[in-house]
Each structure stands twice: as C-alpha cells, then as structure tokens.
C-alpha cells in the first residue's frame, strides 16, 4: 500500500512534535524512521496508525484519505514497543484476536481461523507454542507473537514502534536479520521507528532521519550515510570530527591543506565546516599534503582501534578509527606525530554571525554539538 | 558470521535458585527481642481483635442454641436480614457499574477536570457517614428541597428503602473505583490500543481485554464494597427512621435490641454480621493469594 503524508503538524501543548512532515512511502517498502528521542518519529508512526490525530495535514493510503478512518478501520498492523500482548490469552488466542472480533458476516469460521493462526505461527517460527501464555515467553518470542498478531488482520501497512528496543543485543541482531528476511518473504509495506542508526542502516530500504519534528533527510542507506544532507544527519549516523575551513572557489583550505569541494557542489566562497568521520581520517605519506597530529591515546573497541589525536594547527582533539588489522596500528604509538589526510568528507557553510545574511549555496551548519545524541558507533 | 538462530522452541533460561543469606538483617536480632516483639503483637491482636470477636459468639450463645435460633428467626430480625441483603443487592451492582465506569474514564481517557473527578470519588471516605445521611434528609426529607414534590407524587425516600439504598451507595461508592484506578493506571492503554488497531470495537475491547485484565481487582473491590454495604450504620441510621420490620437493617436492628437490653438477641444478630466479616476476610485472603501481583498496585486501604 502506497502511503502519502502531506504537511502533518502536531503539537502537544506548547511542544511541537511534528512541524509539517511530507513523506512518500512506496508499496512493499521497508522504511526506517530514525531520530533521537523527542524527534517526533513515534508521533509520526502513531499518526499513520490513527492512534494520534494530526492538527493539520493529510495522510493518504493508496490515494484514499485516511483521516476519517478511526484506528480500527485503518487496517494497520501496529506492533507496540512493549508488545502489548493480552496476558490472559494464549499465544493462539492473541494471534486469533483480530479475526475473532470481526463482524459476523466477515468473520472466518473456527477451522479457517485455526488454519490461519497456525500458518502465521509457523511463519514467525513459533509453531508448538500456541498454548503458552505471554508470561511463559522470552522477549524475542513475545515480539514475534505481536508481529503474528498484527499480520493476522492482513494489514495494509505494518508499523513497528522500536521493535528491538526491549531486547538484549544478541537477540536484537538475530531478530533484525530475521525481520528483514520475513519482509522479503511477505512484502508488506513496513515502517519502523528506531533511535539506533545501525539498526536503521542494516534493516531498511530507505531511512528517514528526523530531528525536532522535521525530516532532515530521506534516502537509501547509502545516500544518508555517504551524502548526509545536513550536519545533523552526518552527526547522528556515526561519529564526527568538525574541522574549520575556508572555501575558495572550487577548493577548500583545511588546516593549510587544499582539498577539493565534494562533488555536487560547484563553487563556494566563505567560511565552512568540514565534517569527516573518524574512519575517514587516514594516515598519509609525509610527502603528501596533510596536517600533523600527535597521538594522545590508543583505545581498542572490538575490531576497531581508536586514536585520540591532537591536531596542532587547530589545537583541537580529533578521533581517528582504524581497522585493527591495519598496518598503521602496529606502526604507531602514543606520542608519535602522524600526518593525517581527509579521505571522505562533507562540507557545510558555517553559521554566519546573527544579523549577517549568508547567501550561501550550502546548507547551514547548525549548532549540533549541543543536541548531539550519539549513536552506538559514535 | 553468526548463524541464524532457530527461536522456535527456546525457553527463557531457568536461573538456579539461590537462597538469599542476609547478615545483620532484622531476622538476626537477639532471640529475646524477637520473642518480646512477637508476644506484644500477639497480645495486642488477641485483646483488641480476637477477644471481641469471640465475645460476640459467646454472648450470642450464652442462653443456649435455642435462644439463638429463636432470636434469628424473629420476624423483625428476618425482615432486617432481608432488607440488608436487598440493599446490598441493589447498591453493590450499581457501585460496581459506577466504579468501573469512573475508573475507565479516569485511567483510559484524557479530559478536563479529571483531577477534580478523582477527588470527588474520594469524598465519601472523607465525609462522616452521619453527614452523608443528613444530606439526603436535607434533599428528600419532608422539609427538604424535594420534599413537597415527593409527597405530592406519593413517593417516599426518607424513612423508606430508597433512602437506605441511596445512603449505602453514597458511602460505599469509592471502594470499587479506588481499587481499580491504580490497577488500571499501571496497566496503561497499550492493550486497548492494540485491540482497537486489530479491529475491535470499543465494547469488544472492554469486554475482551480491559475486563479480563481487571477482573480480580474488581472482585476484590466488590467484596470490600459489599462488606461495607451490609455493615453500614451511620448514614443508614439517619435516613432509615428505625421502623421495625420495615426500614431496619441488621446493624440498626442490633442497636435496637441492645438498647432494649435484649443482649442475647442483639449478639445473635451481631454474630451473623461477624460471620459475614469472617467470610469476607477468607475470600479476600484467597483473592490476595490468587493474585498477589495484580493487587500489589492497590495497597491503599
């Protein structure tokens, strides 16, 4: 089911949860709403479901306005963060609920319900657990019961609110892959909410990055990671080093090194901020252009070695990440001076002082440091 | 690479049971301190609770079983018992309905004046029963606001059964709602929202999801409400008029008999009320044992 969202606004008291959101979701797509807490992602999901009502704007389900439809007629499969399984019903009855509450004329007979429920339990790999009660299940199992229950009504769209939020890391990873394969098998249009960028990037076809009730960027996982549209997106999808630079035509002067403007931007002049991920700072040849930095400390986190370096020209600490088998790891130790170069980076115009007009062709650098909520990689 | 795990028949891991060894805790006090504390508590309980209870039955049976049966079979006593049961049979279901409706409104919906409603529900607990009885006399009595209109239409509230029912409802109103509000607040609205999103109507959601979730708490509230409805004295005393065989409930009948120095009969009827209290206690303990967790949210009374 194709879903079109047009200018959705929602305020709670004086807090603006959604400030004019537009989004198109294609049929059969698996899409992630990613953002920090308070970014409005859950509100958007609940508005699509009909559990929340927008102050203004429209939501179209396959071209049909969904606004007059109450939640029970929208046929959305909503999976709650804490599953909301009916404690007094068995797994079987939980899954059968959506079929049993139908009006008599639409209600399938008992045999059909039974066949359908067992088929769904098979799909979510819970065959044989149909007589259990929710309290007798593990977190991952509850999650899959909730999913089967939502699928039982053959929803037009499947909505998942922080589907893996309440699970431990290992189960979360397994379930993530499993959900991806389930989606490929069933093809339901699926929207899920998460604050974990790793989860969003791994699972989704497209990622919607949200901040303060607005969409910062919509794109494939490659697009949002490789070409972040705003400083916020860059920062939210992993660690970041911010270097001051000056753009002159087609080049930027960063710490005395000339680097070309990233493709897609033709020309710019003025102060800019260069955003580079810790993994995109490389140790360069002393002969090549680059800037010098002293290694302050070395820290290993799993397969990644992290250097804390001090850039002399900048008098600023930077983070560098290197794969642990890389030859640079064994070659350098704290106290040494290395020459760093930028491998890949994004450029954003620096916020002009208040009052001055920027007239810039680049998106502004917002003060992201203040509201930064680091993902797990960062 | 991790292999995809088959979740199908995995049980949550069972943790080995390890007894907690507490040192320097309360249970390691000197034996004589422990015994002293336990003895004090037991003596207090025996003196203030058990002794009166036993006394009721002893006094009731002092003149033999014959007198006891006779006192209970007295037409006035029988009519008092009947009236008490009738009043409870009307007041308790109504309060159950009001209590569930109030708790549902307060916990599952957002509206203006919600806090005021919660305060209002508590009002009968904070007002003296005598005052609540007087309120009804003021409204429905012969000299009251609606008195003339009532006598015109030949409808009696005060000194009649409707007045007793009204007073009982007023006094016992909070029991069900107070029991349910914390419970339903803790349960939140996720289950209801899930049911609605699966296509259930409001009524289906209530009967299939909300009601099963609160049924034990509801039963508990009804039990307390019933005990109070049958035992209520103050408010009922004001509105009843103490007409023997007509508007006398059991507690009022006990008082009348007692004032007439008919102790054996008074205690005989009182023993029935005491039995009712014991029965309530047993049921209450059973419910608590049945659903410790569900009720723990409501430890208020």
Distance CA A52, CA A59 (A): 12
**Residue A116's domain is classified under what CATH number?**
3.40.50.300
Question: In whole numbers, what is the pLDDT of chain A averaged over residues?
Answer: 85
Model confidence band, residue A280 (pLDDT cutoffs 50, 70, 90): confident
Closest-CA distance, B193 to chain A, in angstroms, reads: 7
For a pLDDT cut of 70, what percent of chain B falls above it? 87
Q: Is residue A145 a contact partner of residue A69, using CB atoms and an 8 Å limit?
A: no
Cβ neighbours of B6 in A, within 8 Å = 125
Per-residue pLDDT averaged across A78-106, rounded?
A: 92
Statement to judge: residues A20 and A118 lie in one domain = yes
Contact at CB, B5 and A174, closer than 8 angstroms: yes
**Predicted local confidence at residue B93, as pLDDT:** 94
Q: Which helix (H) or strand (E) holds B295?
A: helix B292-296
Domain boundary among A171, A201, A226: A226
B291 touches chain A (CB under 8 A): no
Residue of A44, A26, A9 whose CA lies nearest to A160: A44
Residue B194 confidence (pLDDT): 93
- Identify the CA nearest to A289 among candidates A336, A319, A251: A251
Asked if A10 and A72 sit in the same domain, the reply is yes
| pLDDT given for residue A354 in this prediction | 52
Is residue A167 within 8 A of residue A175, CB to CB? The reply is yes
Is the model more confident about B28 or about A361?
Answer: B28
| Cα–Cα nearest to A83, from A113, A54, A124, A116 | A124
Residues B90 and B52 placed together within one structural domain of the fold: no
Q: What is the pLDDT of residue B101?
A: 92
> Do the chains contact at B194 and A80, CB–CB below 8 Å?
yes
Per-residue pLDDT at B27: 61
Nearest-Cα distance to chain B for A282, in Å, is: 27
B12 closest CB neighbour out of A129, A138, A177? A138
Report the residue from A82, A137, A174 with minimal CB separation from B4.
Answer: A174
- Put simply, the chain B residues between 147 and 186 with a CB less than 8 A from any chain A CB are none
Q: Annotate A266-303 with b (16+ C-beta within 10 A) or e (fewer).
A: eebeeebbbbbbbbbbbbbeeeeebbbbebeebeeeee
Q: Select from A226, A258, A288 the last residue of a domain.
A: A226
Do A17 and A166 reside in the same domain of the chain? yes
User: Which residues of chain B make contact with A141, given a CB cutoff of 8 A?
Assistant: 7, 10
Pairing of strands A251-254, A206-211: unpaired
Where a domain ends, among B61, B80, B102?
B61
User: Considering its fold, how many domains does chain B have in total?
Assistant: 2
Tell whether A97 and A191 lie within a shared domain.
yes
Lowest average pLDDT, out of A192-201, A330-339, B218-227, goes to A330-339
**Mean per-residue pLDDT over chain B, rounded:** 83
3-state secondary structure chain A: CCEEEEEEEEEECCEEEEEEEEEEECCCCEEEEECCCCCCHHHHHHHHHCCCCCCEEEEEECCEECCCCCHHHHCEEEECCCCCCCCCCCHHHHHHHHHHCCCCCCCCCHHHHHHHHHHHHHHCCCCCCCCCCHHHCCHHHHHHHHHHHHHCCCCCEEEEECCCCCCCHHHHHHHHHHHHHHHHHHCCCEEEEECCHHHHHHHCCEEEEEECCEEEEEEEHHHHHHCCCCHHHHHHCCCCEEEEEEEEECEEEECCEEEECCCCCCCEEEEEEEEECHHHEEECCCCCCCEEEEEEEEEEECCEEEEEEEECCCCEEEEEEEECCCHHHHHCCCCCEEEEEECCCEEEECCCCCCCCCCCCCCECCCHHHHCCCCCCC
Name the least confident of A115-119, A369-373, B46-50, B197-201: A369-373
Under an 8 A CB cutoff, do B11 and A138 touch? Answer: yes
Residues of B in contact with A76 (CB under 8 A): 197
CB–CB contact A129 B10 (8 Å) = no
Question: Could you tell me which of B236, B190, B230, B196 has the C-alpha nearest to residue B213?
Answer: B190
Confidence of residue B1 (pLDDT cuts 50, 70, 90): very low
**Most confident by average pLDDT, A71-75, A171-175, B19-23, B202-206:** B202-206
Residues B104 and B210 in one domain: yes
Interchain contact, B212 vs A88, CB within 8 Å: yes
Same domain, A222 and A244: no
A23 and A147 housed in the same domain: yes
Does A144 contact chain B (CB < 8 Å)?
yes
Q: Min CA distance, B264 vs chain A (Å)?
A: 50
Query: How close B164 gets to chain A, by Cα (Å)?
Result: 39
| B201 and B85 assigned to the same domain | yes
pLDDT at position A351: 65
Quickly tell me which residue has 């999901």 as its tokens.
A45
* Minimal C-alpha gap between A150 and chain B (Å): 7
Largest Cα span, chain B:
91
pLDDT band per the 50, 70, 90 thresholds, residue A264? low
Residue A126 near residue B8, CB atoms below 8 Å = yes
Q: Which domain holds residue A323?
A: 239-349
Greater pLDDT, A103 or B12: A103
Output the pLDDT for position A290: 81
Is residue B146 located within the same domain as residue B47? no
Q: Classify residue B276: in a domain, yes or no.
A: yes
Rounded to the nearest angstrom, the minimum Cα separation between A54 and chain B is 17
Q: Is pLDDT at B36 greater than 60 in this prediction?
A: yes
Residues B169 and B53 in one domain: no
Backbone region of residue B199 per phi and psi (left: phi > 0; alpha: psi in -120 to 50; beta: other values): left
Give domain status of residue A371, yes or no: no
pLDDT exceeds 50 at position A377: no
- State the Cα–Cα distance between residues A331 and A66, nearest whole angstrom: 61
Instruction: Assess if residue A336 is contained within a domain.
Output: yes
Contact B293/A at CB under 8 A: no
- Of residues A149, A174, A178, nearest to B198 (C-beta): A149
Residue A157 falls within a domain, yes or no?
yes
Q: What chain B residue is nearest to A94 in terms of C-alpha separation?
A: B195
Which chain B residue is nearest to residue A151, measuring alpha carbons?
A: B198
DSSP 8-state class, residue B160: S
- Residues A165, A301: one domain? no
Of A111-115, A197-201, B158-162, the least confident: B158-162
Which site among B183, B188, B199 would you substitute to test the A interface, given the most A Cβ atoms closer than 10 Å to its Cβ?
Answer: B199
Q: Is residue A358 part of a domain?
A: no
Residue of A nearest to B204 (CA): A101
B198 to A73: CB separation less than 8 angstroms, yes or no: no
How far is it, in rounded angstroms, from Cα B275 to Cα B281? 10
Q: Are residues B170 and B248 in the same domain?
A: yes
Q: What local confidence, expressed as pLDDT, does residue A218 receive?
A: 94
Interface test with B, best of A66, A87, A93 (most B CBs within 10 A): A87
| pLDDT tops 80 at residue A36 | yes
Distance separating alpha carbons of residues A288 and B167, to the nearest angstrom: 94
pLDDT band, very low/low/confident/very high, at B162 (cuts 50, 70, 90): confident
Same-domain check for residues A158 and A122: yes
CA distance A273 to B258: 93
Task: Kindly state whether residues B133 and B192 are assigned to the same domain.
Answer: yes
Contacts of A73 in chain B (CB under 8 A): 199
Give the residue, B182 or A333, on which the prediction is more confident.
B182
**Residue A372 belongs to some domain of the structure:** no
Distance between CA atoms of residues B90 and B185, nearest Å: 28
φ, ψ at A59 (rounded to 5°): -125, 125
Confidence category of residue B14, pLDDT binned at 50, 70, 90 = low
Residues in chain A: 378
Domain-embedded: residue A355? no
pLDDT for A300: 85
pLDDT bucket at A358, cuts 50 / 70 / 90: very low
Average pLDDT over residues B115-139: 88
- Asked which of A81-90, A153-162, B240-249 is least confident by mean pLDDT, the reply is B240-249
The answer to the question of residue A370 being in a domain is no
CATH number of the domain bearing residue A265: 2.40.50.140
Overall average pLDDT of the B34-57 stretch: 91
Q: Which of B197, B201, B213 sits opposite A76 (nearest CB)?
A: B197
Asked if residue A364 is part of any domain, the answer here is no
pLDDT beyond 70 at B2: no
pLDDT given for residue B248 in this prediction: 87
Q: How many domains does chain A contain in total?
A: 2
pLDDT at A353 exceeding the cut of 70: no
- Report yes or no on B86 lying in a domain: yes
Give the number of other CB atoms < 10 A from CB of residue B106.
Answer: 19
Q: Which of B235, B233, B234, B230 is nearest to B280 (CA)?
A: B230
- Residue range B39-49: average pLDDT? 92
Beta-sheet pairing, A316-323 with A304-311: antiparallel
Residue B94 — pLDDT band, cuts 50, 70, 90?
very high
The pair phi, psi for residue B276, each rounded to 5°, is: -60, -45
Residues B98, B42 share a domain: no
- State residue B298's pLDDT score: 43
Are residues B9 and A71, on separate chains, in Cβ contact within 8 Å? no
The string of pLDDT tens digits covering residues A299-348 is 888 888 889 998 888 788 889 988 888 887 778 888 888 888 888 888 88
What is the span of the domain harbouring residue B126? 65-299
Q: Are residues A23 and A139 in the same domain?
A: yes
DSSP state of B242: -
Residues B177 and B81 in one domain: yes
Q: A285 and A205, same structural domain?
A: no
Residue A364 clears pLDDT 70, i.e. is over it? no
Shortest alpha-carbon distance between residue B98 and chain A (Å) = 24
Pick from B37-41, B53-57, B267-271 the range whose average pLDDT is largest. Answer: B37-41
Residue B24 within a domain:
no
Mean pLDDT over residues B81-96, rounded?
93
Confidence bin at A78 (pLDDT 50/70/90): very high
Using CA coordinates, name the residue in chain A closest to B10.
Answer: A138
- A316 or B174: whose pLDDT is higher? B174
């Amino acid at each position: 089911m194709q879903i079109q969202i047009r200018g959705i606004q929602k305020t709670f008291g004086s807090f603006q949860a959604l400030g004019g959101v537009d989004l198109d979701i294609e049929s059969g797509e698996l899409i992630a709403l990613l953002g920090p807490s308070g970014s409005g992602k859950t509100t958007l999901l609940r508005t699509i479901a009909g559990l929340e009502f927008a102050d203004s704007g429209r939501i179209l389900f396959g071209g049909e306005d969904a606004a007059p439809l109450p939640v029970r007629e929208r046929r959305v499969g909503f999976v709650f963060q804490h599953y909301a399984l009916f404690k007094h019903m068995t797994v079987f009855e939980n899954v059968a609920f959506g079929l049993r509450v139908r009006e008599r004329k639409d209600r399938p007979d008992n045999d059909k319900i039974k066949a359908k429920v067992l088929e769904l339990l098979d799909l979510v790999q819970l065959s044989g657990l149909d007589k259990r009660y929710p309290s007798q299940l593990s977190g991952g199992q509850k999650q899959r019961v909730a999913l089967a229950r939502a699928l039982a009504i053959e929803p037009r769209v499947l909505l998942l609110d922080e589907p893996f939020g309440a699970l431990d890391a290992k189960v979360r990873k397994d379930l993530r892959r499993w959900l991806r394969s389930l989606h490929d098998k069933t093809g339901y249009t699926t929207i899920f909410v998460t604050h974990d960028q790793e989860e969003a990037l791994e699972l989704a076809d497209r990622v919607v990055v949200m901040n303060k009730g607005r969409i910062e960027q919509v794109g494939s996982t490659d697009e949002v990671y490789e070409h972040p549209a705003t400083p916020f997106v860059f920062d939210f999808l992993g660690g970041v080093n911010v270097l001051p630079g000056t753009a002159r035509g087609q080049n930027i002067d960063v710490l005395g090194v000339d680097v070309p403007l990233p493709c897609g931007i033709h020309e710019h002049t003025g102060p800019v901020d260069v955003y580079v991920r810790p993994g995109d700072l490389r140790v360069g040849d002393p002969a090549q252009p680059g800037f010098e930095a002293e290694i302050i400390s070395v820290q290993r986190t799993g397969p990644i070695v992290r250097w804390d370096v001090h850039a002399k020209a900048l008098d600023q600490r930077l983070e560098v990440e290197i794969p642990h088998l890389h030859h640079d790891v064994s070659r350098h130790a704290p106290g040494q001076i290395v020459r760093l170069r930028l491998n890949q980076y994004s450029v954003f115009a620096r916020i002009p002082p208040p009052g001055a007009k920027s007239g810039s062709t680049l998106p502004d650098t917002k003060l992201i440091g203040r509201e930064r909520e680091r993902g797990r990689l960062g | 690479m991790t292999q995809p795990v088959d979740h199908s028949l995995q049980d949550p891991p069972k943790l080995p049971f390890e007894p907690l060894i507490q040192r320097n805790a309360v249970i390691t006090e000197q034996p004589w301190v422990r015994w002293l504390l336990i003895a004090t508590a037991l003596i207090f309980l025996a003196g203030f609770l058990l002794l009166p209870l036993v006394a009721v039955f002893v006094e009731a049976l002092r003149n033999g079983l014959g007198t006891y049966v006779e006192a209970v079979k007295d037409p006035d006593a029988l009519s008092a018992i009947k009236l008490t049961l009738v009043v409870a049979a009307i007041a308790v279901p109504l309060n159950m309905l009001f209590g569930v409706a109030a708790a549902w409104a307060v916990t599952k919906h957002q509206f203006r004046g919600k806090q005021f409603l919660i305060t209002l529900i508590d009002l009968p607990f904070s007002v003296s029963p005598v005052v609540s009885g007087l309120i009804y006399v003021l409204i429905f009595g012969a000299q009251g606001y609606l008195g003339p209109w009532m006598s015109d239409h030949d409808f009696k509230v005060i000194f009649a059964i409707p007045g007793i029912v009204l007073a009982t409802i007023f006094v016992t109103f909070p029991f069900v709602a107070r029991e349910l509000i914390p419970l339903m607040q803790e349960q939140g609205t996720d289950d209801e929202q899930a049911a609605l999103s699966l296509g259930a109507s409001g009524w289906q959601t209530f009967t299939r999801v909300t009601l099963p979730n609160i049924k034990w708490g509801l039963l508990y509230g009804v039990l307390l409400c019933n005990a109070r409805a049958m035992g209520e004295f103050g408010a009922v005393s004001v509105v009843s008029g103490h007409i023997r065989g007509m508007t006398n409930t059991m507690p009022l009948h006990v008082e009348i008999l007692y004032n007439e120095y008919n102790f054996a009969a008074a205690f005989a009827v009182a023993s029935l009320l005491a039995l009712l209290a014991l029965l309530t206690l047993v049921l209450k303990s059973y419910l608590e044992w049945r659903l410790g967790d569900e009720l723990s949210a409501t430890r208020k009374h």
